[in-house]
Amino acid sequence: MKKIAVLFSGKGSNFAHIVNTLHHKGFEVVVALTNNPNAEGIKIAKAASIPLEIIDSKAYESREAFDDAVVECLQKYSPELTVLAGFMRILTPIFTEQVKSINLHPSLLPRHKGLNAIEKSYEDKHAHGGVSVHYVTSELDGGEVILQKEVAKEGLSFETYDVKVRSIEKEALVEAIRMVLS
């Protein structure tokens, strides 16, 4: 079993997909960690009996202090890979230089790093948008791209485009986890 850690901040829909497709199927989610004590994804971890760690980012004076606590916590579980699945934190070198991790981003990087990427990619001049899974470095959305999946924008309303991007996110993330750990 390949050991993975999953970090999330909100609903946990990508986390749920990882649990449903990979957990106990050659992979084990050894810990789920959130920075948000009210994240809906907490229910997913509890329902799947996955160890859950809540480290409230608001309780730390700096990004570095928070990242230090996260790294220390993750090390207790020895994951081979840490997956950022909607983890809404900009990570410092304290995390990025010690933890092998990947992130899902809803644009074709290097286009549209950071927030509101789906809106920005819908409105740009390119015929396709999509998603990227990349290694996490201390540069926001700047690590090496592992894989990308495209969505043609022609004729789509923003709502339809948004749904299509979100539906391929889950497949892309699971495929990237398999690639990195194979």
Mean per-residue pLDDT, 138-165: 96
Mean per-residue pLDDT, 62-81: 98
User: What are the tens digits of pLDDT across the range 2-20?
Assistant: 999 999 999 999 999 999 9
Length, in residues, of the chain: 182
**Residue 68 clears pLDDT 90, i.e. is over it:** yes
More confident residue, 90 or 163: 163
Mean per-residue pLDDT, 40-58: 97
Distance CA 60, CA 160 (A): 39
Q: Which domains does the chain have, with CATH numbers?
A: 2-99 (3.40.50.170)
Catalytic residue among 23, 105, 112, 134: 105
pLDDT score for 138: 87
* DSSP track, 114-149: STTHHHHHHHSS-SEEEEEEEE--SSTT-SPEEEEE
pLDDT score for 17: 96
pTM of the model: 0.94
Percent of the chain surpassing pLDDT 70? 100
pLDDT score for 140: 87
Strands 128-135 and 81-84: what pairing?
A: unpaired
pLDDT score for 88: 87
Catalytic residue check, 105: yes
Distance CA 29, CA 59 (A): 26
pLDDT score for 13: 93
Distance CA 44, CA 93 (A): 29
pLDDT score for 168: 96
Strands 101-105 and 145-152: what pairing?
A: unpaired
* C-beta pairs of 162-167 under 8 Å, 24+ apart in sequence: 162/118, 162/122, 165/106, 165/118, 165/121, 165/129, 165/130, 165/131, 166/13, 166/106
